[in-house]
Amino acid sequence: MDWGLIMHYSHVRIPTVFGGAAIVYSCNPFQLYRLYLPRKSEDLLTRDIQKDFSPDPGHHPNIDLLVDQLKLYFQGHPIEPPWKWLAWQDLTALHIQTLKQTARIPYGSVCTYGELAQKIGRPKAARFVGSCMARNPFPIIIPCHRVIRSDGTIGCFGGGPELKQKLLALESNETISN
């Protein structure tokens, strides 16, 4: 075993109007590994984090900057992806290209899976785009919730269709009902 490759993860929880969210990150070097969408239950959030990671206590000043940005997002403000902090190691080049193209969808707008497939130069890859959105480790930061079906319905989302609808409503300045 190469002891130099053991990664230590930390996490921070973020209260939102939709429930508790969390970010798992490493401190040395500072990288974001996963953003967990809001859950209605803290127990569910804890279970999901522990299923994927074993985070240690720790803190890095960059996480405070990102938490502040995410809190502003949940108050109705756009967020700029912190590209240099995103951990891309577990993704293929095509997944990364697709996620970067997804980040170009303007705040408050939507794009279909097929349109996104065309934008990455793979016009017949709408299902691949859907799969890529499902594996997005950085939802909200990379706004996969802005990708919808060609018939205008919202489609699937890791946080469920209700949360996807609420995020789209938040970005459209619509009234959000809980």
pLDDT per residue as tens digits for the range 144-161: 999 999 999 998 888 899
Report pLDDT for 59: 85
- Confidence at 37, pLDDT banded by 50, 70, 90: very high
Same structural domain for residues 30 and 48?
yes
Residue 144 annotated among the catalytic residues of the structure = yes
d(CA 56, CA 18): 26
Among 27, 111, 132, 144, the active-site one is: 144
Pick from 46, 62, 85: which residue ends a domain?
85
Write down the residue that tokens 């997804």 correspond to.
102
Of the candidates 35, 32, 29, 26, the one whose C-alpha atom is nearest the C-alpha of residue 8 is 26
Tell me the mean pLDDT in the region 66-77: 95
Q: What is the chain's mean pLDDT, rounded?
A: 91
Check residue 5 and report its DSSP letter: G
d(CA 27, CA 24): 10
d(CA 33, CA 86): 7
Same structural domain for residues 79 and 33?
yes
Residue 38 inside a domain? The answer is yes
Q: Residue 58 pLDDT more than 80?
A: no
Of the candidates 159, 144, 129, 169, the one whose C-alpha atom is nearest the C-alpha of residue 22 is 159
Helix (H, G, I), strand (E, B), or coil: what is residue 33? strand
Residues 97, 91 contacting (CB under 8 angstroms): no
Same structural domain for residues 73 and 9?
yes
- Confidence at 3, pLDDT banded by 50, 70, 90: very low
Residues spanned by the domain of 65: 3-85
Same structural domain for residues 53 and 28?
yes
